[in-house]
Structures are given as C-alpha cells and as structure tokens.
With several copies, the nearest count.
Chain A
Amino acid sequence: MHVEEGSVVAHEPMGSAYRVLTLRLPRVAAQARPGQFVHLRLAMLSDAVLRRPFSIYRVDGDCVSILYKTIGRGTAAMKSIRLGDAMNVLGPLGNGFPLPTADAIALPVLVAGGYGVAPLYFLASRLPRTGLLFAGGATNADILCVECFQALGWDVRLATDDGSLGVRGLVTAPLDAWLGEARREPEFFACGPNGMLRAVGERAVAGGWKGWLSLDRHMGCGVGACLACVQMIRKDGVETLARVCKDGPIFESREVVWEPSEP
C-alpha cells in the first residue's frame, strides 16, 4: 500500500461510455493483485474530500490502468485528465481474488456486469489457464473487453437488457443455460451490481461451488479506518461487520449476509 504520484501515460475512450486511464505507478504496479483497487485523489475537483475507488484493470510493467464509467461529478471531472498530468493514487487496496492454481479442478467462471469486467480481465490475464466469461450490461455499450478475453483464449457469453448484444436479459440467463449443461464444476469470480452478485452467490451456494464476489460499497478512507464500507459477514456461524475496503472487496458467497432490502 502506497501513496504514489503517477503521471498519466494514456487516457482513451473505450466504446461510447467508458474510458481507460493509464498511470505510471511503479510501486503500485509492483504490488497489485487481481481484485485489488486503487483510490484516486481528484485534485481537479477542489471541493471533493473523498478519493474515488477503481478496480485495477491492467498492469503492464510500471503502468496501472483503470477502466471507468462516468457516474457523477467525480468521474465527470476525470474526463479532463490530460496526458502528463500528475495523479495521486493510494493503492493497491483490498484483498484481491484468490488465484486458482494451474492444477485446480474447477473451471474459472467469471461473471461481469458493466465495468465489473475490469478486475476480471486483470484476473484472467494472471491466470495460468482459461475459462468462461459471462458479461452483461444494459446495452451493447456496456459490454467491454470481449476481444481481449477472446485473445487470451476465453469463451465469452453475453447478455444485454435491451438485447443489443448477446442474449436479451440478465447475465444470469446465459449463465443458467450453461450451468444446465455444464460438465465441469465452476468456481465463480464475479464483479458487478449487487443484484448480480447476489444471484451468482445463490447459484454458487446452491451448487456447492466456490464463488468469489467483489462487493461495491461507497468508501471513505479505503484502508479500513473509517468504517463507512461495512458489510455483514458470517464466518463459522458468527456474524461480524467486515470492511469492504480492507477485509474485501472480495468475499466468498457463503460469507455474505445480504440485507433483506438488497436486490
């Protein structure tokens, strides 16, 4: 974990609604593991006191990339970032995904919603073997990196709410179709909206498979100090409040105690 000042080496649109920002961050790059995130300081937004968390999407040598979508005022301000700008980054943060070994029996099955594909691509690029990616989004603009996964040899199945790419519907549709005929045990790695994570988690629990879910919580400090990002976790029958930023963002499906109101 470092506070590192990095200069912007690339900042490009990805499709119509996303951007990729690449920073030279040798110290963060050296430590980063798939599933971890960075906490970006938005100096250009002078009335912002909070950093913004983004999953690590790629690490290439000294460089760290994130893939982001414009959601609100922070990500809107990020659009003005230019090549050569200095950005202050806190990271890498969080626990990261457990990396299955080359001889693990289960088949890695990644499930991504929108920008949730970012940490999963980093994961895929670090896995000694290939598997399946299920990617979903509202529309085809939210389906990202398909070619990159295919280039790594992954089998990609898609779903969009409006049917503009892949199956029309939720990503669970192609996932359930595959599960129905699957001949190998899956091990899930999922990142996306809560509803999706919960659905994947339920399938993992029901099937008795492992399911690693990357949770998305609004964050303050990002390092476990402020207790803003807590999630109820059950371990050995005991419920405790875990900090998504520090103890997560990755939790095993069985551990997550979803609130009744959560989708």
Chain B
Amino acid sequence: MTTPQLGITLAGIRMKNPVMVASGTFGYGPEYADLVDLNRLGAIVVKGISLEPWGGNRTPRLVEVSGGLVNAIGLQNPGVQGFVAKYLPFLRHFDVPVIVNIWGKTAEEYAEVAARLDGTEGIAGLEINISCPNIKAGGSAFGTNLESTARVVGAVRRRTRLPIIPKLAPNVSDIAAFARCCVENGADALSLINSYPAMVIDIESRRPVLANVTGGLSGPAIHPIAVKLVYDAARAVKVPLIAIGGITQAREAIEFMIAGASAVAVGTANFTEPLTALEVVDGITRYLGAHGLASAGELVGTVRL
C-alpha cells in the first residue's frame, strides 16, 4: 500500500496537510517555533490583525472551565504595519502558508487591512474574523447578522486578490444562511467556528472572572456543536470548509472531515499540548492508511446516513 496523500489545495492555497493552527492560539509563529516544526503544519493562521495596533482587554483575559476555557483577549495586536514589519520576515523563512486573520471596527477597516496585505509577499490568504465575541464594535456583531456579514465580506473581496476565508460565528440558528451569504459575497472558503459567547462568575466576589465580563468558550466542550455546524454548512455550500473547535487529537479532526471539512485547525489544544497539530497529522495519516484511503480529500464529507 502506498502512503496516503495528505496534501490539499484549499482556495488555491497549497498545504502539505489539512491541519492548521487556529488564530489567536499560536501567536505569530515564533512563539512555538522552538517546539513545533512549522514546516510540518498545513498552514499557520496568525492572531487577528487590525488596521492600527490594538491593546485588547484588561486582565484577567482567560479562565479555565470544565472541558475548555473562556477567553476575552480582545484582539490585542501590533496592527497591520507592525505585523508586516515584526513577524512576516520571520515567517517567510518557513515553507508553510501563512493565513492572516483580520478584523476591523467597520467594514471599511476590514477592507483596508485586506488591501494593505494584498500583494504582500509571504501571505497565502486572509481569514476574516467576523465572529470574535470579545470586542464591542465589530466582531460577533458582524457575524450574527446577514446584512453586515455580506457588507464585510463584500468590502474585503473588492480590495484583495488573496483567497478570503470568512470565519463564522457559532451562535446563530441557521449557519447555512451565513455560509451561503459569505459565498455569494466572494468567499473562497469558510472557517468555522470561533469561540462561543460565554461567561464565568466568581461566586465569592460575585464578579465576572474576566475583566471583559463575557468571553468566548473554546476547547473540547464545543466540539460536538462545531461538528453539527460544519455538517450543516457543508450541505449548504460548495467551497471548502476549515473546521475549528475542540480538536485535541486526530479523532476529532477526522470527525470534522467526515462531516464535510476539507481542513481543520487546532486551537486551545496548542496550550494543552503544543505538539497536538503534528500528532493530528500523524493520526490522520495512520487513519487514511488503515481505511484504505489514498488521500485526505477522499475522507471529506463521507458521512454515511
């Protein structure tokens, strides 16, 4: 038997395997480079970038809960210029596609960030974060409304030739409608999902644990929810899907692919175990071999009803 082919081309981006690392959980690359061979990743999605540098929320920004964590980092970042100057040169040394997660407070800001990154060497695609639960303006507010979703995706589309990948919010009743809306407005692929709006209260002080009051739940807790959303989206659109939510080992990634995802991204599990993404790659390889599948693509959307 020949070794299964893990390589995929997603929205024109060639990846060695379908396993990426999720925005905000892997920094900008250097943070984990001593531990993880970046060249072995399918792609790196960097922390969300905005037009200007942004300080994020006050601390505490993160709290562990059963089976996950709730974060309200608040999209702290060095701004598009800071990112290009400070991190992109480092990333260019590696043979791994870099996808930049972008956000803004208005559709125009999103588009402006996209325009500035368009044509910049070393960027393979843009993930549009319309679903961050942790900033007042923009973020989730965009991604839970069809009109503003269309506005943001359309605005970005008009200002870049890079593949664009809107990242959907999980807290909607009809994910299919949002998936279709994004595709109609020019999305080349979709990422789903972002963390789920959540809240933790310290019962002794009776204060929210997070300085931002609420945050986003990520980790194994949300995996079965994410599988359902991926399954629903896969039946609504034809563009490739990047599935995110609670992956800790190959099993959850394979579940996502069977449900219809072409690729996956590992988030919170990077904190638990920095080598998770590489273990997932190995696990998928073994699984494909054991199931007589010649390529990762042969697994996608093969759920048997």
Residues of A within 8 A of B (CB): 1-3, 41, 46-51, 88, 90, 217-218, 220-231, 241, 246, 259
Q: What's the minimum C-beta distance from A128 to chain B, rounded to whole angstroms?
A: 30
New A-B pairs, 13, CB < 8 Å, besides A220-B271, A221-B31: A3-B273, A41-B273, A47-B66, A49-B219, A49-B268, A50-B272, A223-B27, A225-B25, A227-B61, A227-B73, A230-B59, A241-B55, A241-B56
Contact-size category for B: 35 or more
A51 to B274 alpha-carbon distance, docked (Å): 11
Residue B172 at the chain A interface, CB threshold 8 Å: no
Residue B5 at the chain A interface, CB threshold 8 Å: no
B69 touches A230 (CB 8 A): no
Q: Give the residue of B34, B76, B269, B270 whose beta carbon is less than 8 angstroms from that of A1.
A: B34
**Residue of A218, A226, A231 with highest tally of chain B CB at under 10 A:** A226
Q: Give the residue of A2, A49, A217, A224 whose beta carbon is less than 8 angstroms from that of B220.
A: A49
Interface positions, chain B 180-230, Cβ under 8 Å from A, are: 219-220
User: B274 contacts which chain A residues (CB < 8 A)?
Assistant: 3, 90, 223
User: A218 contacts which chain B residues (CB < 8 A)?
Assistant: 59-60, 62-63
User: A90 contacts which chain B residues (CB < 8 A)?
Assistant: 35, 274
A227 touches B35 (CB 8 A): no
Query: Nearest 6 CB-CB pairs, A to B?
Result: A225-B27, A228-B62, A225-B31, A224-B31, A47-B66, A49-B219
B26 touches A49 (CB 8 A): no
Question: Interface residues of B: mostly helix, strand, loop or mixed?
Answer: loop
B56 touches A230 (CB 8 A): yes
Residue B47 at the chain A interface, CB threshold 8 Å: yes
Question: Interface residues of A: mostly helix, strand, loop or mixed?
Answer: loop
B47 touches A227 (CB 8 A): yes
List, sorted by A's number, 19 A–B pairs whose CB atoms are closer than 8 Å: A3-B273, A3-B274, A49-B219, A49-B269, A50-B271, A50-B272, A51-B271, A88-B273, A218-B63, A220-B271, A221-B27, A222-B271, A223-B27, A227-B61, A227-B73, A228-B73, A241-B56, A241-B76, A259-B58
A229 to B66 alpha-carbon distance, docked (Å): 20
Number of A-B contacts (CB under 8 A): 92
User: B269 contacts which chain A residues (CB < 8 A)?
Assistant: 49
A227 to B47 alpha-carbon distance, docked (Å): 10
**Residue of B60, B64, B69, B269 with highest tally of chain A CB at under 10 A:** B64
Closest residue of A by beta carbon distance from B62:
A228
Q: Give the residue of A88, A223, A228 whose beta carbon is less than 8 angstroms from that of B35.
A: A223
A226 touches B73 (CB 8 A): yes
Interface positions, chain B 226-281, Cβ under 8 Å from A, are: 268-275
Residue B89 at the chain A interface, CB threshold 8 Å: no
A218 to B32 alpha-carbon distance, docked (Å): 19
B55 touches A228 (CB 8 A): no
Q: What's the minimum C-beta distance from A174 to chain B, rounded to whole angstroms?
A: 31
B59 touches A221 (CB 8 A): no
Q: Give the residue of B60, B62, B275 whose beta carbon is less than 8 angstroms from that of A226.
A: B62
User: B56 contacts which chain A residues (CB < 8 A)?
Assistant: 227, 230, 241
A228 to B25 alpha-carbon distance, docked (Å): 10
User: A223 contacts which chain B residues (CB < 8 A)?
Assistant: 27, 31-32, 35, 274
Please judge, given known A-B contacts A220-B69, A227-B47, whether A49 and B271 are in contact too, CB under 8 Å. Answer: yes
Please judge, given known A-B contacts A49-B69, A225-B26, A227-B76, whether A1 and B35 are in contact too, CB under 8 Å. Answer: yes
Residue B71 at the chain A interface, CB threshold 8 Å: yes
Closest residue of A by beta carbon distance from B26:
A225
B59 touches A217 (CB 8 A): yes
B220 touches A47 (CB 8 A): yes
User: A228 contacts which chain B residues (CB < 8 A)?
Assistant: 59-62, 71, 73
